[in-house]
Amino acid sequence: MGLKILFEDEHIMVVKKDAGIPVQAGKLRMMDLQGLIKNELYKRNRKGGEPYLGLIHRLDQPVEGVMVFAKTPFAAGSLSEQVTDGRMKKHYLALLCGKPETDEGTLVDYLVKDGRTNTSSVAKAGEKDAKRSELNYKVLKRNDETTLVEVELITGRHHQIRVQMSNAGWPLYGDTKYNPAFQETKEHVQTALCAYQLSFVHPKSKKVMEFSIEPDNSMLKQS
Protein backbone atom coordinates (compact mmCIF):
# COMPACT_ATOMS: atom_id res chain seq x y z
CA MET A 1 0.00 0.00 0.00
CA GLY A 2 2.28 2.74 -1.29
CA LEU A 3 1.75 6.40 -2.04
CA LYS A 4 0.20 7.01 -5.47
CA ILE A 5 0.94 10.57 -6.60
CA LEU A 6 -1.06 11.86 -9.59
CA PHE A 7 0.36 15.39 -9.59
CA GLU A 8 2.67 17.47 -7.46
CA ASP A 9 4.33 20.88 -7.43
CA GLU A 10 5.54 23.21 -4.69
CA HIS A 11 1.96 24.12 -3.71
CA ILE A 12 -0.17 20.96 -3.90
CA MET A 13 -0.08 17.18 -4.07
CA VAL A 14 -2.85 15.17 -5.73
CA VAL A 15 -2.98 11.49 -4.81
CA LYS A 16 -5.09 8.39 -5.27
CA LYS A 17 -6.37 7.02 -1.96
CA ASP A 18 -6.81 3.25 -1.85
CA ALA A 19 -9.91 1.71 -0.33
CA GLY A 20 -9.31 0.59 3.25
CA ILE A 21 -6.72 3.17 4.24
CA PRO A 22 -7.92 6.00 6.52
CA VAL A 23 -7.13 9.59 5.66
CA GLN A 24 -6.30 10.13 9.33
CA ALA A 25 -5.62 7.16 11.61
CA GLY A 26 -8.02 6.73 14.49
CA LYS A 27 -5.99 3.89 15.95
CA LEU A 28 -2.37 3.78 17.08
CA ARG A 29 0.08 1.97 14.80
CA MET A 30 -2.32 2.16 11.87
CA MET A 31 -0.81 3.87 8.84
CA ASP A 32 -2.94 6.57 7.25
CA LEU A 33 -2.75 8.56 4.04
CA GLN A 34 -1.50 11.68 5.81
CA GLY A 35 1.29 9.61 7.34
CA LEU A 36 2.31 8.17 3.98
CA ILE A 37 2.53 11.65 2.46
CA LYS A 38 4.42 13.13 5.43
CA ASN A 39 6.90 10.25 5.36
CA GLU A 40 7.57 10.99 1.69
CA LEU A 41 8.02 14.71 2.37
CA TYR A 42 10.33 13.99 5.31
CA LYS A 43 12.59 11.95 3.04
CA ARG A 44 12.97 14.89 0.66
CA ASN A 45 13.36 17.58 3.31
CA ARG A 46 17.09 18.21 3.58
CA LYS A 47 16.63 21.19 5.90
CA GLY A 48 14.93 19.10 8.57
CA GLY A 49 11.81 19.99 10.51
CA GLU A 50 8.25 18.86 10.03
CA PRO A 51 6.89 19.47 6.52
CA TYR A 52 3.64 21.38 6.15
CA LEU A 53 0.65 19.34 4.95
CA GLY A 54 -2.86 20.79 4.81
CA LEU A 55 -5.86 18.44 4.85
CA ILE A 56 -8.52 19.96 2.58
CA HIS A 57 -11.22 17.30 2.35
CA ARG A 58 -11.82 13.71 3.39
CA LEU A 59 -12.89 10.33 2.09
CA ASP A 60 -14.38 7.52 4.16
CA GLN A 61 -11.96 4.70 4.94
CA PRO A 62 -13.73 2.13 2.69
CA VAL A 63 -13.77 4.54 -0.26
CA GLU A 64 -11.11 4.91 -2.94
CA GLY A 65 -10.55 8.10 -4.88
CA VAL A 66 -8.74 11.30 -5.78
CA MET A 67 -7.67 13.74 -3.06
CA VAL A 68 -5.72 17.00 -3.03
CA PHE A 69 -3.46 18.12 -0.18
CA ALA A 70 -1.88 21.54 0.34
CA LYS A 71 1.88 21.86 0.81
CA THR A 72 1.74 25.50 1.95
CA PRO A 73 -0.63 27.52 4.16
CA PHE A 74 -1.39 29.75 1.16
CA ALA A 75 -2.52 26.75 -0.90
CA ALA A 76 -4.53 25.41 2.03
CA GLY A 77 -6.44 28.67 2.34
CA SER A 78 -7.23 28.83 -1.36
CA LEU A 79 -8.37 25.21 -1.62
CA SER A 80 -10.44 25.38 1.58
CA GLU A 81 -12.19 28.44 0.21
CA GLN A 82 -13.03 26.51 -2.96
CA VAL A 83 -14.57 23.73 -0.88
CA THR A 84 -16.74 26.30 0.89
CA ASP A 85 -17.87 28.23 -2.19
CA GLY A 86 -18.39 25.17 -4.40
CA ARG A 87 -15.62 25.71 -6.92
CA MET A 88 -14.05 22.39 -5.96
CA LYS A 89 -16.07 19.75 -7.84
CA LYS A 90 -16.27 16.14 -6.64
CA HIS A 91 -17.74 13.35 -8.74
CA TYR A 92 -18.23 9.76 -7.61
CA LEU A 93 -19.20 6.41 -9.08
CA ALA A 94 -21.56 4.37 -6.92
CA LEU A 95 -23.28 1.02 -7.35
CA LEU A 96 -26.73 1.08 -5.79
CA CYS A 97 -28.80 -1.88 -4.62
CA GLY A 98 -32.09 -0.79 -6.10
CA LYS A 99 -33.50 1.14 -9.01
CA PRO A 100 -34.03 4.91 -9.00
CA GLU A 101 -37.21 5.73 -10.90
CA THR A 102 -35.63 8.61 -12.82
CA ASP A 103 -32.35 8.68 -14.75
CA GLU A 104 -31.32 11.95 -13.10
CA GLY A 105 -32.23 13.53 -9.81
CA THR A 106 -31.29 15.56 -6.76
CA LEU A 107 -31.41 14.44 -3.14
CA VAL A 108 -31.69 17.01 -0.34
CA ASP A 109 -31.71 15.85 3.28
CA TYR A 110 -30.61 17.08 6.69
CA LEU A 111 -27.97 14.88 8.33
CA VAL A 112 -26.87 14.53 11.93
CA LYS A 113 -23.58 12.89 12.88
CA ASP A 114 -23.27 10.59 15.89
CA GLY A 115 -19.65 10.66 16.99
CA ARG A 116 -20.11 7.74 19.39
CA THR A 117 -21.05 5.31 16.62
CA ASN A 118 -19.29 7.11 13.76
CA THR A 119 -22.52 7.15 11.76
CA SER A 120 -24.86 9.77 10.36
CA SER A 121 -28.63 9.73 9.98
CA VAL A 122 -31.36 11.74 8.30
CA ALA A 123 -33.09 14.28 10.54
CA LYS A 124 -35.71 16.99 10.18
CA ALA A 125 -34.79 20.51 9.10
CA GLY A 126 -34.20 22.63 12.16
CA GLU A 127 -33.24 19.71 14.37
CA LYS A 128 -30.17 20.33 16.54
CA ASP A 129 -26.89 19.87 14.62
CA ALA A 130 -28.75 18.87 11.43
CA LYS A 131 -26.86 20.02 8.32
CA ARG A 132 -28.36 20.49 4.87
CA SER A 133 -26.96 17.88 2.49
CA GLU A 134 -27.36 17.88 -1.29
CA LEU A 135 -26.19 15.71 -4.16
CA ASN A 136 -27.06 15.15 -7.81
CA TYR A 137 -27.10 11.70 -9.40
CA LYS A 138 -27.21 10.40 -12.97
CA VAL A 139 -27.87 6.80 -13.95
CA LEU A 140 -25.09 5.30 -16.10
CA LYS A 141 -26.17 1.66 -16.27
CA ARG A 142 -29.13 -0.38 -15.05
CA ASN A 143 -28.65 -4.05 -14.15
CA ASP A 144 -31.13 -6.64 -12.86
CA GLU A 145 -30.80 -5.71 -9.17
CA THR A 146 -28.29 -2.86 -9.14
CA THR A 147 -27.79 0.56 -10.72
CA LEU A 148 -24.51 2.29 -11.53
CA VAL A 149 -24.72 6.05 -11.01
CA GLU A 150 -22.49 9.10 -11.17
CA VAL A 151 -22.87 11.36 -8.16
CA GLU A 152 -21.98 15.05 -7.96
CA LEU A 153 -21.49 16.03 -4.35
CA ILE A 154 -22.79 19.53 -3.69
CA THR A 155 -22.14 19.52 0.07
CA GLY A 156 -19.56 17.45 1.91
CA ARG A 157 -21.12 15.81 4.96
CA HIS A 158 -20.05 12.80 7.00
CA HIS A 159 -20.94 9.60 5.06
CA GLN A 160 -23.25 11.75 2.95
CA ILE A 161 -23.63 9.67 -0.21
CA ARG A 162 -23.97 6.43 1.75
CA VAL A 163 -26.63 7.85 4.09
CA GLN A 164 -28.68 9.70 1.48
CA MET A 165 -28.76 6.79 -0.94
CA SER A 166 -29.78 4.40 1.83
CA ASN A 167 -32.52 6.78 2.95
CA ALA A 168 -33.80 6.99 -0.64
CA GLY A 169 -34.11 3.19 -0.72
CA TRP A 170 -30.98 2.49 -2.78
CA PRO A 171 -28.16 1.60 -0.34
CA LEU A 172 -24.67 1.12 -1.72
CA TYR A 173 -23.47 -2.36 -2.63
CA GLY A 174 -21.08 -3.64 0.03
CA ASP A 175 -21.82 -0.92 2.59
CA THR A 176 -21.74 -2.66 5.98
CA LYS A 177 -22.93 0.44 7.87
CA TYR A 178 -25.98 1.54 5.89
CA ASN A 179 -27.01 -1.42 3.73
CA PRO A 180 -28.96 -4.02 5.77
CA ALA A 181 -28.08 -6.72 3.23
CA PHE A 182 -24.39 -6.44 4.16
CA GLN A 183 -24.52 -5.62 7.87
CA GLU A 184 -24.22 -9.25 8.95
CA THR A 185 -21.70 -10.38 6.36
CA LYS A 186 -18.64 -12.20 7.68
CA GLU A 187 -16.55 -11.75 4.57
CA HIS A 188 -14.82 -8.56 3.46
CA VAL A 189 -16.79 -6.72 0.79
CA GLN A 190 -15.55 -3.44 -0.63
CA THR A 191 -18.04 -0.59 -0.56
CA ALA A 192 -18.87 0.21 -4.19
CA LEU A 193 -18.06 3.92 -4.08
CA CYS A 194 -15.19 5.77 -5.75
CA ALA A 195 -14.35 9.48 -5.84
CA TYR A 196 -13.23 9.14 -9.42
CA GLN A 197 -13.00 12.80 -10.49
CA LEU A 198 -11.84 15.99 -8.77
CA SER A 199 -11.48 19.50 -10.17
CA PHE A 200 -10.37 22.79 -8.63
CA VAL A 201 -8.50 26.00 -9.43
CA HIS A 202 -4.76 25.88 -8.80
CA PRO A 203 -3.99 28.20 -5.87
CA LYS A 204 -1.11 29.95 -7.63
CA SER A 205 -1.54 29.66 -11.40
CA LYS A 206 -5.36 29.91 -11.26
CA LYS A 207 -5.50 27.17 -13.88
CA VAL A 208 -8.44 24.74 -13.68
CA MET A 209 -7.05 21.35 -12.67
CA GLU A 210 -9.01 18.13 -13.28
CA PHE A 211 -8.01 14.61 -12.30
CA SER A 212 -9.76 11.30 -12.98
CA ILE A 213 -8.99 7.71 -12.06
CA GLU A 214 -10.26 4.28 -13.04
CA PRO A 215 -11.80 2.50 -10.02
CA ASP A 216 -10.00 -0.59 -8.73
CA ASN A 217 -13.35 -1.96 -7.57
CA SER A 218 -14.54 -4.30 -10.32
CA MET A 219 -18.18 -3.66 -9.32
CA LEU A 220 -17.81 -0.07 -10.55
CA LYS A 221 -16.38 -0.84 -13.98
CA GLN A 222 -18.95 -0.22 -16.69
CA SER A 223 -17.51 -2.71 -19.17
| Residues with catalytic function | 60
Please provide residue 162's backbone torsions phi and psi, each rounded to the nearest 5 degrees. Answer: -65, -40
Q: What CA–CA distance (Å, rounded) separates 212 from 106?
A: 23
- How far is it, in rounded angstroms, from Cα 33 to Cα 108? 30
Dist CA 151 CA 154 (whole Å)? 9
- Secondary structure of the chain in the HEC alphabet? CCCCEEEECCCEEEEEECCCCCCCCCCCCCCCHHHHHHHHHHHHCCCCCCCCCEECCCCCCCCEEEEEEECCHHHHHHHHHHHHHCCCEEEEEEEEECCCCCCEEEEEEEEEEECCCCEEEEECCCCCCCEEEEEEEEEEEECCCEEEEEEEECCCCCCHHHHHHHHHCCCECCCCCCCHHHCCCCCCCCCCEEEEEEEEECCCCCCEEEEECCCCCHHHCCC
Let me know: does 204 contact 220? Beta carbons within 8 Å.
no
Q: Which residue type is seen at 16? A: K
